[in-house]
Amino acid sequence: MKARWLLPSLAVTVVSLSPLASAAPSCKCLSSQPCWPSASDFSQLASQVSLPLIKPTPPASVCYPPLSPNAPECLAVEAHLHDNPWRTNLPGAMLSTNFETFTFDNGTIDACYYNILLGVPCHQGSIPIIGVDARSVSDIQAAVNFAAKHYLRLVVKNTGHDYLGRSIARGAFMLWTHNLKDIAYDDAFVPSGAPGHSQTFKALTVGAGVQWNEAYAAADAHGRAIVGGSCPSVGTTGGWIQGGGHSGLSPVHGLGADNAIEFKVVLANGQYVTANQYQNSDLFWALRGGGGGTYGVVVCVTYNTFDVAPTTSIRLDAVFATPAIALKAITELITILPTLQDAGFGGHYLVSHAGIVSANFASNAALAKVNDAYSAFIERLGAAGAVVTVVKASAPSYYAASAPILAADNLLGGVETELISRFLSRTAATQAPAAVAQTILGITQGVEIMAVAGGAVSKVDPDSAGVTPAWRQAIAIIESSIIWPEGTPTAQINQLRQGAAAELAALDPLSPNHGTYLNEASQYEKDFRGTFFGSHYQRLAAIKKQYDEDDLFLVTEGVGSENWDKTLNCRV
């Protein structure tokens, strides 16, 4: 049986909107405005889709009158506050809870806080009041056509974390794709439109709502490995792949953008198209790194898969007693990173004045290749004065080796947080490792070094996909965050942001052209076009205009957003 996203969709009339582009209003229509569709309009939409329209609510609203904090519904919210799978199953929930809130220009925050002891009334915040729970291509087409007809602010919400709040907006209309869970494996996949005798792929096709823990299990069941995200709740087809998509396997097999074979997409005019190297190749190029929520609604992605390889996990703990030891030890880490990445190591290092905690994964073949160098690295850490513990464990596959880390990452949601990040360039790591170490130690909250570049990532033609060319010069991402408790006044949050901005500026010299991974970055970049897209921006903007002339799809710091105000509701 064919999966639903492979069936032709005839249920909704496709309406081309491009002739109306010149007449498009200057502002989107929001739910608080008279232009908002009528009850009759929504009833007509409801008759076109598979399920009743959803009305997203703040998850904590069940703890407020008429219910009470002791109600079973409220107790369930408290029990699952940091539970990522639970949160992703709710259309009104975000993993970073600050994006559920809305801040007015005067600094007042509209929210429904989980901490009911704050005594603040529960309000809708930034959560849209209505939307479509898509279960088929025709559902997506109906939602897209409806949003285009009424010129609504449309948000496409998939699953997983969203550090720039791109899948939520106050007053918007929501298209929720989380429940499109089809998965299909084909050991001789041929892209649509490919000429005869073309290369075939052992490929996995995943629907818009499939999360990486589900995709990993499906690939493993067929004895295959797949390049995917390190957080199991992240979606396989949304912002991850459309932002480039990094993985612990990237040093071995490249970015997600390098391994996507084909997309099926609903465009702004309602058309359902295939994008690969043979059909809509410009759209295929843009979807591989040009930013999520920008060119259309991706219904499914087909990925190449790989042979499973025995994998060793390495847990390293290094404790520093003095600042001098910290500087020497982190310098040693930066010095060896290019070697490890090029050998195929992947993983994460939590680095601070107190020490290093890392979780790395490498095929047994890669580990054997650099075993002497890694052993020497451990010895140098000890010689620098660090107290070092290393634990290694073998597993039959990367999926099995990383399972404990994936499980732990499922319990990291429900926090108010924002990120800053920059790529660590190969040049900086090889020519000035001590300076890099000193910069890292200057970050107040410590950093996470995401060792997901180098190796295969650096060997790909920088212009082969829309992802920023800066990825090809990087060996890692350096990332830090600011976190605050619910109820913190806007003035204090802005102070934290100012501090983060200063630290971000300090990271700039470490990165080629101040580049970074656009899915894990600041929403206050000075030059998001250069930082997120580099020299590819103009081509991406042209493709955006070709497929979405009226800017139905808009996201924070996404292609084309510079033409709109900071709310993305009105043109400038």
- C-alpha R_g of the chain: 23
Whether 10 shows a pLDDT value over 60: the answer reads: no
Whether 21 shows a pLDDT value over 80: the answer reads: no
Supply the pLDDT for residue 336. Answer: 97
Beta bridge partners of 237: none
Between CA 352 and CA 448 the distance in angstroms is 9
Q: Poorest-confidence range of 42-46, 174-178, 412-416, 562-566?
A: 412-416
Query: In a 3-state reduction of DSSP, which class is residue 500?
Result: helix
Supply the pLDDT for residue 406. Answer: 80
Supply 241's token pair: 């792949």
Range list of H helices, 233-350:
239-242, 250-253, 256-259, 281-287, 323-343
Between CA 261 and CA 237 the distance in angstroms is 12
Share of the chain above pLDDT 70, in %: 96
As a whole number, the mean pLDDT across the chain is 94
Contact 399, 212 (CB under 8 A): no
Token look-up 């529960």 returns 122
Whether 7 shows a pLDDT value over 50: the answer reads: no
Whether 338 shows a pLDDT value over 50: the answer reads: yes
Of 430, 219, 258, 281, the closest CA to residue 342 belongs to 430
Of 21, 46, 6, the closest CA to residue 272 belongs to 6
Domain positions in the chain: 39-176, 183-308, 311-531
Residue type, 491: A
Angle 325-331-335 (CA atoms, 0-180°, nearest 5)? 150
Between CA 117 and CA 101 the distance in angstroms is 17
Contact 530, 513 (CB under 8 A): yes
Question: How far lies 281's CA from each of 66, 275, 403, in Å?
Answer: 54, 6, 36
> What fold, for 311-531?
Vanillyl-alcohol Oxidase; Chain A, domain 3 (3.40.462)
Q: What is the DSSP letter of 63?
A: G
Contact 314, 370 (CB under 8 A): no
Query: Which residues have CB under 8 Å from 264's CB, separation 6+?
Result: 5, 6, 137, 272, 273, 274, 275, 298, 299, 300
Supply the pLDDT for residue 407. Answer: 80
Contact 500, 113 (CB under 8 A): no
Whether 236 shows a pLDDT value over 90: the answer reads: yes
Query: Where are the extended beta strands (E) located within 87-232?
Result: 102-103, 109-110, 130-133, 154-157, 173-176, 183-189, 201-207, 224-225
Of 16, 14, 546, the closest CA to residue 281 belongs to 546
Average pLDDT over residues 416-421: 97
What digits encode the pLDDT tens for the residues 496-552?
A: 999 999 999 999 999 978 999 999 999 999 999 999 999 999 999 999 999 999 999
Question: How far lies 1's CA from each of 6, 140, 184, 272, 423, in Å?
Answer: 10, 21, 10, 20, 44
Range list of H helices, 288-397:
323-343, 364-383
CATH of domain 183-308: 3.30.465.10
Share of the chain above pLDDT 90, in %: 91
Whether 478 shows a pLDDT value over 50: the answer reads: yes
Supply 226's token pair: 């797949």
Q: How many CA atoms lie within 13 A of 120 on its CB side?
A: 19
Query: Where are the extended beta strands (E) located within 130-271?
Result: 130-133, 154-157, 173-176, 183-189, 201-207, 224-225, 260-266
Q: Is the dihedral of CA 525, 32, 177, 77 positive or negative?
A: positive
**pLDDT-based confidence at 409, cuts 50/70/90?**
confident
Supply 501's token pair: 């901005």
What digits encode the pLDDT tens for the residues 177-235?
A: 999 999 999 999 999 999 988 899 999 999 999 999 999 999 999 999 999 998 989 99
Supply the pLDDT for residue 405. Answer: 81
Contact 453, 475 (CB under 8 A): yes
The pTM for the full model equals: 0.94
Average pLDDT over residues 267-280: 98
Average pLDDT over residues 76-96: 95
Average pLDDT over residues 243-266: 97
Supply the pLDDT for residue 410. Answer: 75
Average pLDDT over residues 91-100: 97
Give the count of beta carbons closer than 10 Å to the beta carbon of residue 186. Answer: 15
Q: Is the dihedral of CA 89, 95, 99, 101 positive or negative?
A: positive
Supply the pLDDT for residue 23. Answer: 57
Contact 264, 180 (CB under 8 A): no
Between CA 131 and CA 241 the distance in angstroms is 24
Average pLDDT over residues 415-442: 97
Whether 386 shows a pLDDT value over 70: the answer reads: yes
Query: In a 3-state reduction of DSSP, which class is residue 270?
Result: coil
Token look-up 């060792």 returns 451
- The dihedrals phi and psi of 362, each to the nearest 5 degrees, come to -150, 140
> What fold, for 39-176?
3.30.43
**pLDDT-based confidence at 408, cuts 50/70/90?**
confident
Whether 15 shows a pLDDT value over 60: the answer reads: no
Q: How would DSSP label each residue in 41-92?
A: HHHHHHTTSSSPPB----GGGGGSTTS-TTSHHHHHHHHTTT-HHHHHT-TT
Between CA 414 and CA 96 the distance in angstroms is 6
Supply the pLDDT for residue 512. Answer: 74
Contact 371, 390 (CB under 8 A): no
Residue type, 400: A
Q: How many CA atoms lie within 13 A of 23 on its CB side?
A: 7
- Cis peptide leading into 509, omega within 30 of 0? no
Average pLDDT over residues 476-494: 97
Between CA 169 and CA 158 the distance in angstroms is 14
Supply the pLDDT for residue 412. Answer: 81
Q: How would DSSP label each residue in 143-157?
A: HHHHHHHTTB-EEEE
Whether 13 shows a pLDDT value over 80: the answer reads: no
